[in-house]
Amino acid sequence: MITSHEIFLSVVFLAGLVLAAGCTTSSLTPVPPAGSTIAPLTSALPVTTIPLIVTPVPCPQENTSTSISINPISHHYLGDIITFHGTTNLPPGEIIRIGVYSAEFIPCPKSSGNCQSNVTPCCGGYSDIVSVLQGMCGINTWSWTVDTSLHGFRADGEYIIFANGRNGAVDNFSIFTVSGIPKSNITLNLPANDPEENALWFSGQANTGNGPSENLLFIVSSDSGKKARYTVPVYQNGRGYFWNITLKKSAITPYNFLSVNVSSVTSPEIRIERTFLYNNEPAYYPYNPVSP
């Protein structure tokens, strides 16, 4: 006969077997159920960040001797505003004196030396002071602007620009010309129709010696007695200075022919006058677009 004590020991023994079986089949990593497509989790690999190495571009070998340079100067017309540029290894903020003088050397009377700020021969030239600006690698810059409609500049004149620093201890110079206008004149092209505006388009050159500060007086009169009068500004292009104006036909119609007169406001003797037919053809042949 099985006693109650034996039954109790049997129950304890079975419970121990169940606990032991559970410990041997358990795992820290969960096992997916059969047929599952979920991959088991894996630990991420450590990411190594490669530091960005920036190699500075070395400056060119610095010239230890103090210097001032003047950049090449392009061709200019009388009346242009010229900005001169250059470089220097003088420190930023240091003063440079820049001047322009006539390259024409002629005997000068003693009394002619009083025309200051004038670049004509026998005068003292035109000069000013500028500050050195910060550049890169010790190569600093300077600039200076001159209006050639002032200071006595002349067409076809040759001039010297001179730069010096530290009381003349360092200097440089360059030669340039202000010309390109062989003769003061105004040109007048054949009129062109502007159908969208029901207008006529007039244009031409204006080589009057006053550059972009010039204004032209434009007058058109028709055989019907109508007259239109306008002031036209002058603009710069690669060949000198040009002008243009669009004229509404309503200002001069009706007409069979019209006369166009264009003159310089500052120098009225520089002018051109031409007559055109209704079809924009010149009334006289051969047509000469240049004033005499």
The pLDDT of residue 121 is 87
How confident is the model over 136-167, as pLDDT tens digits? 988 999 999 998 888 988 877 899 999 999 98
How confident is the model over 77-108, as pLDDT tens digits? 777 789 999 999 999 999 999 999 999 888 88
How confident is the model over 187-204, as pLDDT tens digits? 999 999 988 889 999 999
- Report which of residues 47 and 130 the model is more confident about: 130
Closest C-alpha among 292, 291, 289, 284 to residue 188: 289
Cβ burial, residue 36 (10 Å; 0-12/13-18/19+): exposed
- CB proximity list for 110: less than 8 A, separation 6 or greater: none
In angstroms, rounded to a whole number, what is the distance separating the alpha carbons of residues 167 and 42? 78
Cis? peptide before 254, omega within 30° of 0: yes
pLDDT for 39 beyond 50: no
CA distances from 218 to 183, 215, 236, 242, 267 (A): 21, 10, 18, 13, 14
- CB proximity list for 44: less than 8 A, separation 6 or greater: none
Q: What percent of the chain has pLDDT over 70?
A: 74
Domain annotation for the chain: domains and CATH numbers: 81-106+114-178 (2.60.40), 185-277 (2.60.40.10)
Q: How many angstroms from the chain centroid is the CA of residue 285?
A: 44
SS3 sequence of the chain: CCCHHHHHHHHHHHHHHHHHHHHHHCCCCCCCCCCCCCCCCCCCCCCCCCCCCCCCCCCCCCCCCCCECCCCCCCECCCCEEEEEEEECCCCCCEEEEEEEECCCCCCCHHHHHCCCECCCCCCEEEEEEECEEEECCEEEEEEEEECCCCCCCCCEEEEEEEEECCCCEEEEEEEEECCCCCCEEECCCCEEECCCCEEEEEEEEECCCHHHCEEEEEEEECCCCEEEEEEECEEECCEEEEEEEEEHHHCCCCCEEEEEEEECCCCCCEEEEEEECCCCECCCCCCCECC
Confidence of residue 210 (pLDDT cuts 50, 70, 90): confident
